[in-house]
Amino acid sequence: DQKKRFAVATQRYGEGSSTRGMTEQEAWENHQAQKATVRFGAKNKKQASDGYEFVFDDLGGFVETSNEVETEKHRDRDSRTVAEKDKEERNMLPIHAYRDELLKLIEENQVLVIVGETGSGKTTQIPQYLREAGYTKRGKIGCTQPRRIAAMSVASRVAQELGVKLGHEVGYSIRFEDCTSDKTVLKYMTDGMLLRELLIEPKLDSYSVIMVDEAHERTLSTDILFGLVKDLANVRPDLRLIISSATLEAKKFSEYFDSARIYMIPGRRYPVEKFFNKLPEADLLDTAIRTVFQIHETEPLGDILVFLTGQEEIEKAETKLKLRMIDLRTKSSEIIICPIYSNLPTELQAKVFEPAPKGSRKVVLATNIAETSITIDGIRYVVDPGYCKLNSYNPRTGMESLLVTPISKASAEQRAGRSGRTGPGKCFRLYNVKDLEATTVPEVQRANLASVVLTLKSLGIEDVFNFDFMDPPPANALLKALELLYALGALDGKGEITKLGERMLEFPVDPMLSKMIVGSERYKCSGEMITIAAMLSTGNSIFYRPRQVREEYLADIARMNFYTENVGDHIALLRVYNSWKETNYSSQWCYENYIQSKSMRRARDIRDQLAGLLEKIGVELTSNPNDLDAIKKAILAGFFPHSAKLQKDGSYRRVKEPQTVYVHPSSGLFTASPCKWLVYHELVLTTKEYMRHITEMKPEWLIEIAPHYYELKDIEEARPKKTQRSGRSPMSKVGDTNKKVKRY
Ligand code: CDP
Ligand code: MG
């Protein structure tokens, strides 16, 4: 009877959450097995609160003294070697049963689209199967990931499974970090890195298989890769292409790759009960935390996964959770908080994958990294506030920003599914799924395209408008990219890549930043420019801001030491780096000056790499630390399109665009008396459009450095502009197709 009800229930959960691929009997057995552990968990919790005694055993877990059987089992399990355990675990993955079938299909089909539930083993197993089948004798297996952290963690997992040192047979490559060697045959990398490899090795001759993984994420680089590898398949019949995805967009992928064969890996998925909030919540983060405790107090053991928008929110949540634990007298052994986001230091990343000790549960605070890119075992509950951060780009104004955006229905399903991987799960949604859009707009339609257009040009793709995009970007976004690259001197009047453009491409940074570096040759300050570029590329803040008011005050004073004479943010960053270098890269110095030593070490590492690239393109490493004008001009050589002029009301106006912008409160110039003209690194949109990292400049430099871009009348004070000038090229009259992007 129960069995029947279970069958009905699994059916009722519909397409997203059925136990697809299992017979009814199998699903039932799984369910029973799961229930047994649930009961055990519940018993545990009750006993804990009844004051049962626990002892700490030497294996590091909490074990009940009274439960001999379980203790024995526990020992038993752990007496196996890591390799044995891994092998067993590997063989239990859903993909295992389809290994031979998969290999046969890959052999027979040059392009294969593989769809499989997240966690079924696509990323970690397929490359290993290919290796076992001998593909690595012909070349490397390359597997792309949209996220750095996924590339790193998956590579380290696979290295562990194979019992090899990471960076030897199995390695990864992400921007500014290459953990591979001559031995590497299984190479995980970000999609952006494979794009860069194409520049050096256009036919990817050293690879026998390319697996474009997480294809459903539709990142900008992945979309560009689609077009390039599709082409490559024609000239390299021996190359195998695997496009793998967690969702059902497979049909679209297949059509794009000339009706490529689709293979669905039957996944295991348990029913997920979904709860949702009917009322809009005032404070979502608070509600999320309250939900976590509600689960903790009323539900059987099992880990909780909370989806948050970014590092900042995760840190806030961590603080709130800890405070509430104190309030509720929750034992610190009961809840183990594990944050996971892309900038989390590597040594802390491992913690999230470690099983929670017996009697406790992990609360994983994750960005949408945990949606499909990485799988954390043991999750039984998902708390989903329903937001993520997405970048958006307005080709009209050149404004780029990260916006907190409601997720799509597809994402909501993925997130919920994370709770039903190893047993029936529960998902607590703090929104109504009806309000969501079906899918997310692909990044190519909401991104700044300057960098990829330059890459395409270098690969000899002259007509970027006719590039084989799976979903084409708005025409004016392509135009804007071409205009910018032309203004920077990376493309010539015919739209062909210049020598300068080729040199810029050597640097794995955005075109304006690479122009700043390459252009500094003229001002004899390449050393300063790579320092500034490195400091801007760490992905983390340099200055440490404590939470307490008094400490905050001291930190601000320490920071302003680097800003004497109102030098601006770029030069302040340069001073920070140089002072740190003078102390022989001392962490103590960082601590005393409220500087994040981790960011500094990363900056040093990036700077070393940029120095190497300078040498490669034959630019001498020169230093000119006292000529601030030269340094500012070099910055302007790359960032001249980002100029702004003070208005009467204290706001700024972009020189070439009718757009009002403000100095970001984090700028060292925020409290200084305002400078009339400035250049900024980037715009960020929060409550207003803010300029971040700014430096004062002289308007005549604009004419000196970019005479093709600025005219005298742009910098003349008296003559107000009557009409908006948008016509740098006649082509910019193409209609505004930006509407597609606007969904926020
Ligand atoms: O790619 P897909 O989502 O199909 O699965 P996968 O990433 O290959 O993960 C297969 C299994 O490997 C997961 O169930 C995790 O248990 C494990 N894994 C892990 O423990 N640590 C990682 N860094 C990655 C995967
Ligand atoms: Mg995967």
> Ligand 1 within 6 A of 505 CB?
no
- ipTM for the predicted complex comes to 0.98
Percentage above 70 pLDDT, the chain: 84
Mean pLDDT of 730-739: 34
Ligand 1 pocket: which of 143, 157, 351 to mutate (most atoms within 8 A of CB): 157
Mean pLDDT of 110-120: 92
Q: Which two tokens stand for residue 428?
A: 């607590």
> Ligand 1 within 6 A of 153 CB?
yes
Question: Any idea which of 384-398, 501-515, 721-735 has the lowest mean pLDDT?
Answer: 721-735
Question: Any idea which of 277-286, 486-495, 581-590 has the lowest mean pLDDT?
Answer: 277-286
Residue type, 621: L
Per-residue model confidence (pLDDT) at position 716: 81
Per-residue model confidence (pLDDT) at position 3: 56
Residue whose Cα lies nearest atom 19 of ligand 1: it is 157
Question: Any idea which of 563-567, 614-618, 643-647, 704-708 has the lowest mean pLDDT?
Answer: 563-567
Per-residue model confidence (pLDDT) at position 75: 33
Q: What is the mean pLDDT of the chain?
A: 84
Per-residue model confidence (pLDDT) at position 342: 84
161 against 37, higher pLDDT: 161
Residue whose Cα lies nearest atom 17 of ligand 1: it is 375
Mean pLDDT of 339-349: 84
Tell me: pLDDT of 56 over 50. no
Tell me: pLDDT of 704 over 90. yes
546 against 712, higher pLDDT: 712
Where on the phi/psi map is residue 650: left (φ > 0), alpha (ψ -120 to 50), or beta? left
Per-residue model confidence (pLDDT) at position 2: 53
pTM above 0.90, yes or no: no
Q: Which two tokens stand for residue 449?
A: 């395209």
- Report the C-alpha gap between 333 and 323 in whole angstroms: 15
Per-residue model confidence (pLDDT) at position 59: 23
pLDDT one-digit tens code per residue, 607-656: 999 999 999 999 999 999 899 999 999 999 999 999 999 999 999 999 98
Mean pLDDT of 206-235: 96
Rg (CA), the chain: 28
Give residue 35 CA to ligand 2 midpoint distance, Å: 28
* DSSP codes of every residue in 273-339: EEEE-SSPPS-HHHHHHHHHHHHHHHS-S-EEEEE-SSHHHHHHHHHHHHHHHHHTT--TTTEEEEE
Give residue 246 CA to ligand 2 midpoint distance, Å: 8
Tell me: pLDDT of 736 over 70. no
SS3 404: strand
Element (H, E) at 575: helix 569-582
Mean pLDDT of 259-271: 87
Give residue 122 CA to ligand 2 midpoint distance, Å: 6
Residues 495 and 508 sit within 8 Å (Cβ to Cβ): no
Per-residue model confidence (pLDDT) at position 292: 94
Question: Within a 10 A sphere around the Cβ of 586, how many other Cβ atoms?
Answer: 15
Where on the phi/psi map is residue 176: left (φ > 0), alpha (ψ -120 to 50), or beta? left
Q: Which of 34-38, 68-72, 568-572 has the highest mean pLDDT?
A: 568-572
| Local confidence band at 80 (pLDDT 50, 70, 90 cut-offs) | low
Per-residue model confidence (pLDDT) at position 333: 80
Tell me: pLDDT of 739 over 90. no
pLDDT one-digit tens code per residue, 164-210: 999 999 999 999 999 999 999 999 999 999 999 999 999 999 999 99
SS3 371: helix
Per-residue model confidence (pLDDT) at position 4: 53
> Ligand 1 within 6 A of 94 CB?
no
SS3 117: coil
Q: Which two tokens stand for residue 267?
A: 């996944």
Q: Which two tokens stand for residue 276?
A: 């949702």
Per-residue model confidence (pLDDT) at position 267: 72
Tell me: pLDDT of 239 over 70. yes
Give residue 123 CA to ligand 2 midpoint distance, Å: 4
* DSSP codes of every residue in 444-484: GGSS--HHHHHHHHHTT---GGGS--SSPPPHHHHHHHHHH
Tokens 């474009």, residue located = 212
| Local confidence band at 35 (pLDDT 50, 70, 90 cut-offs) | very low
> Ligand 1 within 6 A of 115 CB?
no
Q: Which two tokens stand for residue 102?
A: 């998969």
> Ligand 1 within 6 A of 118 CB?
yes
Burial of 267 (0-12, 13-18, 19+ CB in 10 A): buried
Q: Are strands 207-212 and 140-145 parallel, antiparallel or unpaired?
A: parallel
Mean pLDDT of 212-226: 96
Tell me: pLDDT of 12 over 70. no
- Report the C-alpha gap between 58 and 66 in whole angstroms: 16
Task: For residue 242, list its beta bridge partners.
Answer: 112, 211
pLDDT one-digit tens code per residue, 116-134: 988 889 999 999 999 999 9
317 against 28, higher pLDDT: 317
Element (H, E) at 728: none
Per-residue model confidence (pLDDT) at position 479: 95
Nearest ligand, CA 158:
1
Residues 186 and 127 sit within 8 Å (Cβ to Cβ): yes
Residues 415 and 17 sit within 8 Å (Cβ to Cβ): no
- Report the C-alpha gap between 226 and 443 in whole angstroms: 14
| Local confidence band at 280 (pLDDT 50, 70, 90 cut-offs) | low
Nearest ligand, CA 215:
2
Residues 521, 524, 527, 529, Cα dihedral to 10°:
-60
> Ligand 1 within 6 A of 221 CB?
no
Percentage above 90 pLDDT, the chain: 64
Per-residue model confidence (pLDDT) at position 23: 46
* DSSP codes of every residue in 580-619: HHHTTS-HHHHHHTTB-HHHHHHHHHHHHHHHHHHHHTT-
Tell me: pLDDT of 395 over 90. no
Per-residue model confidence (pLDDT) at position 279: 63
Residues 6+ positions from 665 with CB-CB distance below 8 Å: 690
Tell me: pLDDT of 459 over 90. yes
Per-residue model confidence (pLDDT) at position 487: 96
Element (H, E) at 417: helix 409-417
Task: For residue 54, list its beta bridge partners.
Answer: 64
